[in-house]
Structure 1
Amino acid sequence: MTVQETEQKLRELLGPEFSDEEIAALLREEPELGEGLEGFAARWQALRGEIPPLPADFTARVMERLEAPGLWERFRARWLSLPRLAAAGALAAGLAGVLYLGYFREPALGPPLSVREAAGPEGRKVYFVRFALRQPGAKQVAVAGDFNQWTLAALAPSAEGEGLFTVEVPLAEGTYSYAFVVDGRRWIPDPAADRWVDDGFGQRNSVINL
């Protein structure tokens, strides 16, 4: 597969949110993305089998070469928004180790989730969920989940304690998965959550049911 063909396949998968320059940068920083495409493009529509394992040091090598975390954060959010069939497709072998940049570490303890209920339009219930995470030494903390299409919603430093970050998010009734993002690169589950779900790539997302 030529470089042009590889870029075209990646462009078809990611959509118009990524420019030609950004797609070229992704492939330049992590050539294994192209290798995954080349190995699986022939069975893009029919793939149902087991995804081959990645090299043990794959994530570490990606982190060593990572120079534009904003680009990779957008890439991860786009990938998580794809249907599961696509997630099992041509890029799976080259992408699975990249999706949780910075890998999971043992999170610091945080305060429990706080939920208050209010009446919304047409009498529908609205739940104001207070997401909180204690991370001493962190410069910034955000929360991302399927309730905001896995974009980053910043938490503000709280006066309640050193290293405590909080944000209140209005949500409709339902079940949501989410994770915290520390300093723009490290994704961790909510230590206050009592439920988790596997994300399909060997990591966990927290779950809240309203």
Structure 2
Amino acid sequence: MSKRISAKYKIDRRMGENIWGRPKSPVNRRDYGPGQHGQNRRGKLSDFGLQLRAKQKLKGHYGNITEKQFRGIYAEASRLKGDTSENLVGLLEQRLDAIIYRAKFVPTVFAARQFVNHGHVMVNGRRCNIPSARLKPGDVVQVRDKSRNIALVLEAIQSPERDTPDYLDVDHNKMTASITRVPQLADVPYPVQMEPNLVVEYYSRN
């Protein structure tokens, strides 16, 4: 299991954007970078800088994905037919932790990873504790019976912060969700603009 060493919200401040759309993000009050020199780091970025920033923003949005894992997902996306940037987003959204987060069973993508790790989730009737497990359209995710009354889950479901995307079929009464199709970039409810095309450019030159 990978571990985030730095504070989560430092990513927001480094990017200058609220990449998870959370109301508690410090970017809502201070839209400059962390540290004593944060306000002086507003120089114009090079093409490489823009590509790196796009990569860090997309990778950061999905939580504790290591660089090795993210590069592997990009490599797989590049082997698939079609637009590599769209394939990349589709593969990321098919991760089990991403689906748990999008279905609003938990409040954050970090909580989704922990929720799956702790064995609270079943996929097609079988217990699964691998956050990176990739689901296919038609696969059914279910919160285990013993886990349905956890305060974290109940609060997330009732939260007005996010809506569930239309490529998921979610039933909060039965605590089930299934992915109906592989989403495109335009389908994913990112709170900020993501630029996977720049991520492709970044990896194609490195």
Q: TM-score, normalised by structure 1?
A: 0.27
The structure whose residues are more often strand, as a share, is 1
Larger Rg computed on CA atoms: 1
Q: Which has the higher helix share?
A: 2
Normalising by structure 2, we get a TM-score of: 0.27
Relative contact order: is structure 1 or structure 2 higher (C-alpha 8 Å, sep ≥ 6)? 2
